[in-house]
């Protein structure tokens, strides 16, 4: 079973012996990986741990429902907290440590007076409908990086904008951490796995795979069809109708360069060399806000 720590000082003490340690089978010190989560784990999270184990000797999984990334009226209070079940699942993939701090442990002052802001990249997509969300992500991830001091951190690509922001944060704050983006884990019918999928009713769960199917269809149209702005716009409108006709309420459906470069206009993005495109969607189905994305290979 993983060793569970609830206090920053205890986790730091547990990891300290690995720093500077070498043995006869190692040319360098053991590598530490971090997998940040909010718990209520599913197979997608376990895949992140498996990837971390491939790149590191010690894996720390954090389980913390972070209040600073939830906005007013969002599901912070109702977000499922299933620590015992999560630890049992993590044992099956040989997790070494679980860090499950309290809110008071992570935030001596709440809201914290210190901010970690990510700039223009946060003003699009989820940042438009969830103001302040990525500021909360920035500070909690920065704190976890400072607490664990990992060599590697693994994040899922389902939260594509979050992954891009974290890569920017690591670059700009000079964290000596390799960020690994793990591909989306899907159910057999294509639905991206998410802790919030449990909010779906039985009927909604049958509808939910339409979201991924619509993105796949749009990607195929973009890769094989005409790419003038007018035609691309018609493809987008057609895809929006497919999604809304199924019963979703769309938050956003957009095509971006795969770096989320806001400098590149919609008119020019198909002409930018050495950049693939990414289709990103957030849509409500009942109580569940579902995220998905699909890479578009151009050229």
For residue 111, give the 3-state DSSP assignment: coil
Measured CA to CA, the distance from residue 249 to residue 61 in angstroms comes to 33
Binding residues for beta-alanine: 69
Give yes or no: residues 148 and 222 share one domain. Answer: no
- Reply yes or no on whether the pLDDT at 297 is more than 80: yes
Mean pLDDT over 73-93 rounds to: 95
Residue 263 has pLDDT above 90, yes or no: no
Verify that 105 and 156 share a domain, yes or no: yes
Do residues 165 and 231 share a domain?
no
Q: Are residues 162 and 61 in the same domain?
A: yes
Do 260 and 124 touch, CB atoms closer than 8 A?
yes
pLDDT for the residue 230? 87
List beta partners, residue 277: 257, 296
- Within this chain, do residues 159 and 200 fall inside the same structural domain, yes or no? no
Higher-pLDDT residue of 191, 227: 191
Active-site hit among 5, 45, 133, 212? 45
C-alpha torsion angle, residues 236, 241, 244, 247 (rounded to 10): -140
Residue 54 and residue 99 in contact, taking contact as beta carbons nearer than 8 Å: no
User: Which of the four pLDDT bands, split at 50, 70 and 90, describes residue 254?
Assistant: very high
60 and 131: one domain?
A: yes
- Average pLDDT of span 127-153: 96
Average pLDDT over residues 249-267: 82
On the question of pLDDT at 67 being above 80, the answer is yes
User: 266 vs 107, which has greater pLDDT?
Assistant: 107
In the predicted structure, residue 273 carries a pLDDT above the cut 80:
no
Using alpha carbons, list the distances in angstroms from residue 183 to 44, 101, 157, 269, 282: 9, 28, 5, 23, 17
Instruction: Indicate the helix (H) or strand (E) that contains 277.
Output: strand 277-285
Residues 176 and 201 in one domain: no
What's 173's domain CATH number?
3.40.50.620
Q: Residue 202 falls within a domain, yes or no?
A: yes
Give the annotated binding-site residues for (R)-pantoate.
69, 162
pLDDT of residue 258: 86
Q: What pLDDT is stored for residue 20 in this prediction?
A: 72
Among residues 158, 182, 206, the one where a domain terminates is 182
Q: Is 45 tagged catalytic?
A: yes
Tokens 């569940």 belong to residue: 288
The answer to whether residue 101 is domain-embedded is yes
Burial track 120-146 (b if 16+ CB lie within 10 A, e otherwise): ebbeebbbeebebbbbbbbbbbbbbbe
Indicate if the pLDDT at residue 66 is higher than 60: yes
Residue 25, helix vs strand vs coil: coil
Out of 160, 182, 204, pick the residue that ends a domain. 182
Instruction: Write the DSSP string, 137-192.
Output: HHHHHHHHHHHH--SEEEEETTSHHHHHHHHHHHHHTT---EEEEEPPPB-TTSPB
Number of domains making up the chain: 2
106 lies in some domain: yes
Of the chain, the percentage scoring pLDDT greater than 90 comes to: 81
pLDDT value at position 6?
98
Q: How far apart are CA 134 and CA 141, in angstroms?
A: 10
User: How far is the first Cα of the chain from the last one, in angstroms, to the nearest whole number?
Assistant: 48
Percent of the chain having pLDDT more than 70? 93
Nearest to 98 by CA among 153, 151, 58: 58
Residue 229: give the domain boundaries: 195-296
- Per-residue pLDDT averaged across 215-244, rounded? 91
Does a structural domain hold residue 187? no
Both 7 and 94 in a single domain? Answer: yes
Average pLDDT, the chain: 92
Q: What share of the chain is helix, strand, coil (3-state, %, to 5)?
A: 40, 20, 40
Report the alpha-carbon distance of residue 49 to residue 186 in Å, rounded. 16
**Residue with more model confidence, 264 or 256:** 256
> pLDDT tens digits for 193-220?
999 999 999 999 999 999 999 999 999 9
Average pLDDT over residues 138-144: 97
**Is residue 188 domain-resident?**
no
pLDDT of residue 26: 58
Q: What is the pLDDT of residue 93?
A: 98
Do 263 and 150 sit in the same domain of this protein?
no
Annotated binding-site positions: 38-45, 69, 156-159, 162, 185, 193-196
Same structural domain, 201 and 74: no
* Structure confidence by residue, pLDDT tens digits, 18-55: 987 655 555 678 999 999 999 999 999 999 999 999 99
CATH, residue 208: 3.30.1300.10
pLDDT of residue 264: 61
Q: Is the dihedral of CA 53, 181, 205, 132 positive or negative?
A: positive
Domain-located, residue 143: yes
Q: How high is the pLDDT of residue 40?
A: 96
């Amino acid at each position: 079973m993983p060793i569970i720590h609830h206090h920053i000082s205890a986790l730091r003490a547990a990891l300290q012996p690995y720093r500077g340690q070498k043995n006869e089978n190692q040319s360098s010190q053991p590598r530490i990986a971090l997998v940040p989560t909010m718990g209520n784990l599913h197979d997608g999270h376990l895949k992140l741990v498996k990837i971390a184990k491939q790149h590191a000797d010690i894996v720390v999984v954090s389980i913390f429902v972070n209040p600073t990334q939830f906005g007013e009226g969002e599901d912070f209070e109702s977000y499922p907290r299933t620590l015992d079940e999560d630890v049992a699942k993590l044992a099956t993939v040989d997790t070494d440590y679980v860090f499950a701090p309290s809110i008071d442990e992570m935030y001596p002052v709440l809201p914290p007076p210190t901010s970690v802001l990510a700039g223009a990249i946060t003003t699009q997509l989820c940042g438009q409908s969830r103001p302040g969300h990525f500021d909360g992500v920035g500070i909690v991830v920065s704190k976890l990086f400072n607490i664990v001091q990992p060599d590697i951190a693994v994040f899922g690509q389902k939260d594509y904008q979050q992954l891009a922001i974290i890569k920017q944060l690591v670059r700009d704050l000079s964290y000596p951490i390799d960020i690994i983006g793990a591909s989306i884990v899907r159910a057999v019918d294509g639905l991206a796995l998410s802790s919030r999928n449990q909010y779906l009713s039985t009927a909604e769960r049958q509808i939910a795979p339409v979201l991924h199917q619509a993105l796949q269809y749009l990607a195929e149209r973009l890769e094989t069809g005409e790419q003038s702005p007018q035609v691309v716009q018609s493809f987008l409108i057609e895809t929006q109708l497919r999604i809304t006709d199924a019963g979703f309420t769309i938050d956003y459906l957009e095509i971006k360069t795969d770096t989320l470069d806001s400098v590149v206009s919609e008119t020019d993005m198909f002409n930018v060399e050495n950049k693939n495109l990414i289709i990103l969607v957030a849509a409500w189905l009942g109580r569940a806000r579902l995220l998905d994305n699909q890479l578009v290979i151009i050229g």
